[in-house]
A and B are shown apart, each in its own frame.
Chain A
Amino acid sequence: MDKEDLFIPRLVTTEEIFAPGHRACIGCGEALAVRLVCKALGKNVIIVNATGCIEIISSLLPKTSWRVPWIHTIFENVGAVVSGIEAAYKARIRKGRISPKDVKFVGFAGDGGTSDIGLQALSGAMERGHNFLYVCFDNEAYMNTGIQRSSATPYGAWTTTAPVGEKQPLGQMTWKKNMPEIAVAHRIPYVATACPSYPLDLMDKVRRGSDIEGPAYIHILSPCPTGWRVSPNLTVELGRLAVETGIFPLYEVIDGEYRLSFELSELKPVREYIKKQGRFRHLSDDAIERIQARIEEDYTRLKSKAETGL
């Protein structure tokens, strides 16, 4: 281990902006990710939270886990609420109502709140160019309501609404929606993927995304032991495997230029990732082969974008 590996984590603040005592499941990858995101953002921030796991575990009246201003309204409107807050600050500062301050406007939502029901509001906010950071905490299904499939659920995963049965042996029959690419298509200045298994990389990206002027989008894979049917001690390991197998590659797109966060000389077989999870236990070798082929195809495409910069 390099000396840096021991030293650098000490630079991370010990202050907990997302306070402990919340009600997340044991081993929650999303709570871990939120904690890291908040540490990277600091206190000069306003957070808009969609309905979902994080909202219900952190804000049960009359208590709150938020040591920064935080607002939740409904499920699908984070992009719009954050637009309103940003506009309000712009107008009030311009009109001399409040003294100028450099506040970061941040939206939090899950994969359902982002790639399904909240997609329109997010797309509108990105297109209009508000100065905000949007963080999608992707645990690959509607976990808060009890593991129902979303458009971010991976191919072949069992969920309660894509169950495994005689006639449908596969579970989820569609491929995961590529939400970061949808963000890139808006030609916003910053898009990144991250995972709490790589905490320093995640925090770097949050800082970059929130410092940049204009819309920024970070998509964080947040392993969910409850919904993925794994033991809670595997959260971090699964995040690493997701990256190492290439099923969830880490990269940034800065002003349209792709940059891989880690050069993987060789992808680990996806079987290593899949075999650890109960949600994939029904998968046939054929199905795993299909997933492997798809990963290789997608990863090659991503690598060539990173090589050419486009």
Chain B
Amino acid sequence: MIRRVGLEGSFAVAEAVRMANADVIAAYPITPQTHIVERLAEMIAEGELDAEFICVESEHSAMSACVGASAAGARVFTCSAGQGLELMHEVLYIPSSMRLPVVAVAANRALSAPLSVWCDHSDAMSLRDTGWIQMFAENNQQAFDLTVCAFRIAEAVLFPAMVHIDGFFLSHVIEDMELPADEAVRDFIPDYEHPFVLDPDNPVSMGCYAPPFIYPETKKAQEVAFEQTKSEIIDVWNDFGRAFGRHYSPVELYRMEDARIALLTMGSASETAMLAVDEMREEGEAVGLIRLRLWRPFPFTELRDAVKNVELIVVLDRAVSFGMGGPVCSEVRSTLYQMENKPHVIGFIGGLGGRDISIEEFKYMVKRAQERAKKREEEIEKTELFGIRE
């Protein structure tokens, strides 16, 4: 039975973890992720979820405990944000290199200094190369759906998966959404058996030491396997669509049919961008929106297909790669380099440290990008940090 409910993004994630019947949860509290762990702790205390909750002493230990639990065959979950993900960073490479399907949710948060508990994507961008499957949600329904899918994807491909939800914008906002029946989710996520569990009856050595004669081979194996996850991710999302009626794909398009200009966003700003596109369409501008759902593995072909007939792409980054501009923008540019008729790619950075991005600002970006596209090369390369009070 489908229930229509009003739920905070954090609670939506907790519901997904409960329905996925996680065995071990290890987490450390950090704003704005706290409501997820609080709700999970409550579910366990009330007997709604049968899991071991390890209240670790740091995020570093949260991911370490997840690695241990996953290696021992458990379905595991953790969540964090900002500084917590940075502290966890070293350990994030372990489940992806050791093929352990840990599932995590990041309530995206800016990085110190200065201290900010509010949303941007600096934390997510610093995790780009950790070998995790990563996807971005833009509303609470997606936060729930993508978390459910993350369990099935991770366990199917034996790589860890992370769902990014914007801190506060999703984690703390109550939205109208649908919750499927527990049984439907249980049916969707089959029981999990890791093929190489730490078990005295069948001893294995995990995490051995690799000198130069063998290290590159381990990385090659990892990269080949990781690239292949994309088709499995798409299959799982298609299955999810058939079972629950909501459809996801690596690159999702909004009013792109005859678009000459494409905005490109990730996360909760996409919804504001859609409203901006509607208004600009009414004003006669042929603008559409590309929402990058899948961030790792990067959807190269899907993105190139989406912009075949586009003249200008306007990329919004919510993080700064100092000395380089916006990280999403630079990846989009490198993806399009192979195209014969490349569109201009103009980057903007905004929404740092929780600053709102308004419809007007999206309109400004589109207008300003058209001016910049006509200018000298440096002007095109430069990424503009907009909305700054001077």
Contact = CB atoms under 8 A, between A and B. Distances in A.
A84 B65 contact: yes
A87 B209 contact: no
Contacts of B323: none
Contacts of B54: 83-84, 87, 128
Interface in A39-95: 43-46, 48, 55-56, 59-62, 64, 66-74, 76-77, 79-85, 87-92, 94-95
Contact of A84 (B72, B208, B214): B72
A20 interface: no
Contacts, number: 164
A73 B23 contact: no
Contacts of A127: 57
A33 to B, nearest CB: 20
11 contacts: A62-B208, A64-B208, A66-B205, A81-B65, A83-B65, A84-B71, A84-B74, A87-B54, A88-B69, A91-B50, A128-B54
A212 interface: no
B30 to A, nearest CB: 16
A43 B200 contact: yes
Chain A residues touching B, majority SS: mixed
Contacts of A277: none
Given A59-B209, A68-B200, A124 B61 contact: yes
Given A120-B61, A121-B61, A71 B73 contact: no
A69 B203 contact: yes
Choose among B26, B69, B70 the residue with the greatest number of A CB atoms under 10 Å from its CB: B69
B160 to A, nearest CB: 13
A264 interface: no
Interface stretch (A96-104, A148-156, A219-227, A293-301): A96-104
A201 to B, nearest CB: 26
Contact of B24 (A73, A87, A103): A87
Interface string B33-71: 000000000000000001110111110111011111111
Given A43-B200, A60-B209, A88 B24 contact: yes
B68 A91 contact: no
Given A74-B94, A120-B57, 11 more contacts: A73-B207, A80-B62, A84-B24, A84-B54, A84-B67, A85-B68, A85-B72, A87-B69, A88-B52, A95-B23, A98-B73
Nearest to B23: A91
Contacts of A62: 208, 214
Interface in A172-210: none
Choose among B51, B70, B71, B210 the residue with the greatest number of A CB atoms under 10 Å from its CB: B71
B20 interface: no
B198 interface: yes
A292 interface: no
Nearest to B51: A91
Interface residues of B, number: 46
B206 A61 contact: no
A308 to B, nearest CB: 32
B57 A70 contact: no
A66 B207 CA distance: 12
A87 B71 contact: no
Contacts of B210: 61
Nearest to B28: A124
B209 A84 contact: no
B73 A88 contact: yes
B283 interface: no
A209 to B, nearest CB: 18
A66 B205 CA distance: 7
Contact of A69 (B90, B200, B211): B200
Contacts of B205: 59, 64, 66, 69-71
B2 interface: no
A120 B69 contact: no
B50 A95 contact: yes
Contact of A83 (B68, B94, B200, B204): B68
Contacts of A73: 64, 67-68, 91, 94, 98, 207
